[in-house]
């Protein structure tokens, strides 16, 4: 832990005005940056021998909408199935206001020389974009396309920013917290038109609470109640 604190101090000494926030938590060092400083900080983290973060190993989007939201105030599990989760709580918790913006781009870096990892985080609002890290680390290419596809986060300067996981013509971004779990459309084969057609989804939305299956202690066999 002491080594990580020293490394964090080294980062603050080198980027005194470009780090908005930092922390060391659960053996992870995190820097929060503005999007204006993302490229300059990334280049120095890659090129300076004292840092030498030559690898970008992951990049992902995060949606903090309704962060900490709890549909049910309970400390016990249900043994009666999913029925009580059809309707949500009237006063759900919402801790998303503790963050400066709804979305974040989180990048994980690795230095093989120094055997260190570093997390960079940039917050942005809906409709904002961040500079692409592809010119700094080529491995960011498909990661950024994934974040664009699933969260709708734009990356300025990306060489080929298009969907990578969802199908052509897909509506919306499926990992956004306001995207319905049942989706928006469903596909089926139409015999009359002899093709696959889409229509609005017919499933009734519901909030589910998982049932815990417990062993029946009154029996000696392996059945479950």
Query: Is residue 210 scored above 60 in pLDDT?
Result: no
Which residues, including other chains, have CB under 8 Å from residue 17's CB and lie 6 or more apart? none
pLDDT of residue 158: 98
pLDDT in tens, 131-142: 999 999 999 999
Q: Classify 146 as helix, strand or coil.
A: helix
How is residue 150 annotated by DSSP? Answer: H
Q: Is residue 138 part of a domain?
A: yes
Instruction: Report how far residue 166's alpha carbon sits from residue 172's, in angstroms, rounded to the nearest whole number.
Output: 10
DSSP strands (E only) in 7-54: 21-25, 28-33
Q: Is residue 187 part of a domain?
A: no
Query: Is residue 148 scored above 80 in pLDDT?
Result: yes
Q: Is residue 200 part of a domain?
A: no
Q: Is residue 206 part of a domain?
A: no
Q: Is residue 194 part of a domain?
A: no
* Domain extent for 119: 2-64+99-171
Instruction: Report how far residue 171's alpha carbon sits from residue 54's, in angstroms, rounded to the nearest whole number.
Output: 36
How many other C-beta atoms can be found within 10 angstroms of the C-beta atom of residue 148? 20
Summarize the confidence of residues 96-116 as an average pLDDT. 93
| pTM recorded for the entire structure | 0.77
Domain count across the chain: 1
pLDDT in tens, 38-77: 999 999 999 999 999 999 999 999 999 888 766 555 555 5
Strand partners, 72: none
Q: Is residue 28 part of a domain?
A: yes
Q: Is residue 32 part of a domain?
A: yes
Q: Is residue 225 part of a domain?
A: no
Q: What is the CATH number of the domain that holds 29?
A: 3.30.460.80
Instruction: Report how far residue 35's alpha carbon sits from residue 133's, in angstroms, rounded to the nearest whole number.
Output: 11
């Amino acid at each position: 832990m002491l080594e990580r604190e020293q490394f964090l101090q080294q980062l603050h000494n080198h980027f005194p005005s470009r780090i908005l926030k930092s922390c060391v938590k659960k053996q992870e060092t995190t820097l929060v940056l503005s999007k204006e400083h993302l490229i300059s900080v990334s280049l120095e983290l890659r090129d300076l021998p004292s840092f030498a973060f030559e690898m970008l190993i992951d990049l992902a989007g995060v949606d903090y909408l309704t962060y900490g939201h709890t549909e049910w105030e309970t400390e016990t599990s249900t043994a009666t199935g999913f029925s009580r989760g059809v309707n949500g709580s009237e006063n759900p918790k919402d801790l998303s206001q503790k963050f400066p913006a709804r979305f974040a781009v989180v990048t994980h870096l690795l230095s093989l020389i120094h055997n260190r990892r570093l997390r960079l985080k940039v917050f942005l609002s809906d409709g904002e974009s961040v500079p692409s890290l592809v010119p700094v680390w080529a491995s960011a290419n498909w990661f950024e396309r994934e974040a664009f596809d699933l969260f709708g986060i734009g990356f300025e300067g990306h060489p080929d920013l298009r969907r990578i996981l969802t199908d052509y013509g897909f509506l919306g971004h499926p990992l956004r917290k306001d995207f319905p779990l049942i989706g928006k459309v469903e596909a089926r084969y139409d015999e009359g038109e002899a093709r696959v057609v889409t229509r609005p989804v017919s499933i009734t939305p519901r909030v589910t609470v998982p049932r815990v299956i417990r062993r029946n202690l009154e029996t000696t066999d392996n059945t479950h109640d």
